[in-house]
Structure formats: C-alpha cells, structure tokens
C-alpha cells in the first residue's frame, strides 16, 4: 500500500456475483480515484443458494474488475453455520489472507443485522445496506449507506443510527450499445414492445406482468423478458401468449443495453419488490417509461426510484389498465419518457455516487 492514500478493504461473501449489492461494491471499488485510494477486493464463491444460481462469481463482473485494475483477493469458505444469526464461516482461509493492519477501513454489503466476520475486525466498517433486515449495533460500524431514502426510513424505524448514514444508490451507467434484439426476435419495427429483466430466481417471480399482458389486445404488441424465473416461460405457455419472447440472463452491459433498446415500455414485476431497483435506473437512462406494482410481501422503494417517469399499480387489474394505456397511447409514453434520461443522470450518476462515497470515507478515516 502507498502512503498518503486511504486504504480500503472491500469484503463480500460472493462478492463477484451479478446481484445489485455486489454491483454497487464492484462499481465503487473500480471507480474510486486511484491517486487517493488503495483498494483490495476480497471475495469468495457463494454457497449454493437453491434460489440463487447466479450467486457465484460472474465472468462479466470478473472481467469488469480486472479491466479497472482492481486488486482481487480470493478466499475460501467451505461451509457456514446457518443456525447462527451471524452466519459464521467455516473452513475458511479468510483470516490467513486478510491483515487488518494494512487498511484504514472496511467496506461491505449487508442485509442489516450483525454479520460474520465484520464485528470481529478491529477496523471501522462502512456497511452498504441493500435489504430491509434491521440494524447492526456493533461498535465498529462507522457509517451505514442506503441505496434509497425508502430503505433508510425503514432502517431508522429499527433504531438505525440517525447521525451516521447516507443514501448512495446503485449508479446507472450510460447505454453500452445502440443495437437491439428486434431482428433476432422477429419483432416488427413498428410494434410496441414492453418487458423487463431480472435474475433467474423462482422466489422473486411475479405473475402480474404476463397475466396483465394476457388481458389486453395483443395486436401489434409484444413482451420480452431477459433472464427471470423459468416460471415466466411456463406462465406464457399456459396463457397461450405467442408474442412473449425470452432472452437468456446476462450481466453483460452490452446485452442489457441491447435488450432495453428493444423496448418501448419497461414493464416490471417482482414478488418481493425492490429496496432500490437498479433495473429502473438502467431503463430510464435508456429513455424508457416505466411501470411496476406494489409488493405486499416486501419492499416498495422502486416507486421512488422511477420518480416522474413511471406509473404505479396496486394490483393486477390496475397494472393491466396502465399497461394497456401505455401500449395504446404514444403521447403518454412520450410524456413519461421525456424526463427519463435527465432524471437518471441527475439522481444516479456514477460520478455523483463516487463523490458521496469519498466524503464518507474521508470522514471515517479522520475520526
């Protein structure tokens, strides 16, 4: 490590996965100014979550970190005590790889409550909270970062520290491609296309988008899903939806950009909702109007995330009505999409997020 720099150890179980928490950590580690920060990124392969087939290191995320010159340190965890609230790691070489004396602070991503091994590390810990799981009262928690105001408000109600917290969302990157998938999917240029993208998980499957699509006239209308649970394919088949198309999941920014360029409407659904909803920031920076629904089982920060650029539904019937209007009313689509790019750039820019994070680190390092 070079003197004069703030030395940061990013540490995350499954830290090179393609999920939102990992994406935030990866983008921050990769884009902190190298003349002011020395960063090591500690990661391991994730345990085999039954509902998270994408939880291990993703090739595109590994390439992203390597391309940005981030020093990667891989450690091993062969087991975990699931009956302990802190989920201790077993058969791990982390403590042989990690030397606390080489750093000024630790950055991680957590669900909220105390987690192994962070309460055992004798350094200030900055936590990025991507889930509404509660608060960590460990003495070394120096600052708590939330990805939305909605998330922070929920955390404060669970006795989170009101003096040491900041909202820093997952940044929206500029479009990586000008191409689309219409030719490959045999979708006419004059068709109106709705859709969304999602990780491959049955747990977050929402039956609302495709059920709503089945209730409207589909003449000249198409629906495309990138990734997502296999249950979407089963649902489309059972409803006889010939104009629903599927693209295999990818974390490649170019593939996601091509997919979003295929759409006229970002029509989202998720059973447990969103504590932020990176997919909305990505959709808006591609100039898309948005639509989503309330989650009665989870989080609803995505209404905040899409701001003035989307419509909100409380149930399937309202969702179907909004979707029908968006398909039929070009002027409505234009009104919602007009502020989208500017709103995303103002609220979710990478430069703005890095600037906020630097202020947090400087405060922690000086305290």
pLDDT at 46: 80
How far apart CA 168 and CA 146 sit, in angstroms, is 6
Closest CA to 118 of 131, 105, 133: 105
Q: What is the pTM of this model?
A: 0.88
pLDDT at 80: 87
**What's phi and psi for 341, nearest 5 deg?**
-60, -45
Do 124 and 142 contact (CB within 8 A), yes or no? yes
DSSP 8-state code for residue 326: H
Euclidean distance between the first and the last CA atom of the chain, given in angstroms as a whole number:
21
DSSP string, 275-321: SS-HHHHHHHHTT--EEEE--SSSEETHHHHHGGGEEEESSHHHHHH
Low-confidence ranges of the chain (pLDDT < 50): 1, 50-51
Closest CA to 31 of 277, 286, 366, 355: 355
Which residues on neighbouring strands pair with residue 145, listed in sequence order? 128, 166
DSSP string, 109-178: EE-SS--TTGGGSSS-EEEEE-S-------TTEEEEEESSHHHHHHHHTTT--TTSEEE-PPPPPPPS-S
Residue holding tokens 């599927």?
246
CATH 3.40.50.2000 in the chain, residue ranges = 6-169+350-366, 182-347
**CATH superfamily, domain at 182-347:** Glycogen Phosphorylase B; (3.40.50.2000)
pLDDT at 97: 98
pLDDT at 85: 86
Paired tokens of 280? 């909305």
pLDDT at 359: 98
pLDDT at 104: 98
Q: What share of the chain is helix, strand, coil (3-state, %, to 5)?
A: 35, 20, 40
CATH number for the 6-169+350-366 domain, one of 3.40.120.10, 3.40.50.150, 2.40.160.20, 3.40.50.2000?
3.40.50.2000
Angle at which helices 20-31 and 350-366 cross, to 10°: 80
Burial of 161 (0-12, 13-18, 19+ CB in 10 A): middle
Q: What is the largest CA-CA distance in the chain?
A: 65
Which residues on neighbouring strands pair with residue 72, listed in sequence order? 41
How far apart CA 69 and CA 287 sit, in angstroms, is 31
As a whole number, the mean pLDDT across the chain is 94
């Amino acid at each position: 490590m070079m003197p004069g720099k703030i030395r940061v150890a990013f540490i995350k179980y499954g830290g090179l996965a393609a999920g939102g928490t990992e994406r935030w950590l990866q983008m921050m580690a990769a884009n902190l100014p190298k003349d002011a920060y020395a960063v090591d990124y500690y990661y391991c392969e994730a345990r085999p979550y039954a509902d998270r087939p994408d939880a291990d290191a993703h090739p595109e995320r590994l390439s992203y970190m390597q391309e940005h010159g981030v020093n990667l340190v891989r450690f091993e965890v062969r087991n975990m005590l699931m009956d302990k609230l802190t989920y201790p790691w077993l058969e791990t070489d982390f403590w042989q790889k990690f030397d606390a004396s080489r750093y000024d602070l630790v950055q991680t991503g957590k669900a909220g409550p105390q987690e192994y091994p962070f309460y055992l590390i004798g350094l200030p810990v900055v936590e990025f909270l991507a889930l509404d799981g509660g608060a960590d009262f460990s003495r070394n928690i120096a600052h708590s970062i939330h990805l939305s105001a909605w998330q922070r408000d929920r955390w404060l109600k669970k006795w989170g520290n009101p003096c040491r917290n900041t909202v820093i969302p997952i940044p929206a990157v500029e479009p990586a491609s000008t191409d689309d998938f219409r030719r490959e999917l045999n979708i006419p240029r004059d068709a109106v296309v709705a859709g969304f993208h999602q990780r491959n998980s049955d747990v977050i499957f929402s039956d609302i988008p495709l059920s709503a699509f089945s209730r409207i006239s589909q003449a000249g209308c198409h629906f495309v899903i990138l990734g997502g649970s296999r249950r979407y394919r089963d649902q489309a088949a059972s409803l006889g939806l010939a104009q629903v198309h599927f693209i295999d999941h990818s974390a490649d920014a170019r593939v996601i950009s091509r997919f979003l360029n295929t759409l006229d409407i970002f029509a989202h659904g998720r059973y447990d909702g969103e504590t932020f909803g990176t997919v909305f920031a990505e959709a808006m920076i591609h100039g898309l109007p948005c639509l989503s629904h309330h989650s009665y089982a989870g989080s609803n920060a995505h209404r905040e995330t899409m701001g003035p650029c989307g419509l909100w539904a409380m149930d399937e019937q309202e969702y179907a009505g909004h979707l029908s209007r968006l398909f039929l009313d070009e002027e409505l689509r234009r009104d919602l999409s007009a502020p989208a790019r500017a709103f995303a750039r103002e609220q979710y820019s990478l430069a703005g997020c890095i600037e906020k994070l630097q202020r947090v680190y400087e405060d922690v390092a000086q305290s």
